[in-house]
Amino acid sequence: MFLFTTPVFKETIWGGKKLEEFDFEIPSDHTGEAWVIAAHPNGNSVIRSGEYEGRTLADVYRLHPELFGASGELGAKFPLLIKIIDAREDLSIQVHPDDAYAYSHENGSFGKTECWYVLDCEENASIVIGHNAKDHEDLVRMVREERWSDLIREIPVHPGDFFLIRPGTVHAIKGGTLILETQQNSDVTYRVYDYDRLQNGQKRPLHIEQSLDVITAPYEAPEVPDYRGLGRKITTGAEVWHLADSDYFGVDKIRVDGRFIADYSVPFLNLTVIEGEGEIDGEELKKGDSLIITNKTTKFRLEGKLTAIVSWPVKG
């Protein structure tokens, strides 16, 4: 069974209009995010066709846990959240907490491990990942003194790059970047710095104390940068890149040219088409479509010429 979802749009001061490239009807030219698969109180996808048409994803997950390989325990939450992010301007310098801190300080929320697949970006674009403080004491001093240019670690970015962002990592998507984000189902973000910009005549609030609580110091960059993921294989009708394994999700990129039979032994799959068009088991697929491949569908057929990002929960 396939559950096609409708996106939830978020207007932001840093957003633009590139989400129109996915055939989305965005609310304004400051649309920063499309939550394409979401079951969160701040954004809940609606199933757009089939047996559960018109129901929210959160309701379907709660009432039919068997579709997701879940046990159906009381209060269970859908584990993942998939977004497409259009950063016309820079996002704030920020950090996310882990599960333990978020549960204790954010009303039982999940923490936030996330990853970015760079769909497109301007020439000479960059992102922020990590910081240059040598220890926590140095971090506190640099933040208190607002030595942002000394603190922030900025690196170049290119289309097709991939980054895994763990809790405690200082990070920011910079202007001119279009990203697909796979993350834990959480909306907890602590702003460290926001360029002193104004929204409705006022600075947006910062979360300095929470940030200093959760930022990992010193920052340890991966020994092998995961810009292109963990591996690539060529199989009949497709190329498959395994992009990420984390404690919470796995992520693949699939490029189909012809006919490809996929078989994943996982509770369920999220799939978003990022280029091209085709079919999944005979149902039409086009750029911008997102769906959940339920636990009842362990094997499926992709046909056409398309590229998709798929993800699955590891625990939730």
User: Tokens 């159906």, residue?
Assistant: 72
What residues have CB less than 8 Å from 50, skipping those under 6 apart? 1, 2, 3, 4
Rounded Cα distance between 131 and 295, Å, is 41
For residue 17, how many other CB atoms are within 10 A of its CB? 14
User: Tokens 């996929």, residue?
Assistant: 262
Catalytic residues: 191
Residues in the chain: 316
CB 71, CB 269: distance < 8 Å: no
The secondary element (H helix, E strand) that includes residue 136 is helix 136-144
Burial class (CB in 10 A: 0-12, 13-18, 19+), 205: exposed
Burial 70-85 (b: 16+ CB within 10 A, else e): beeeeeebbbbbbbbb
Rounded Cα distance between 296 and 16, Å, is 38
For residue 223, how many other CB atoms are within 10 A of its CB? 5
CB 92, CB 194: distance < 8 Å: yes
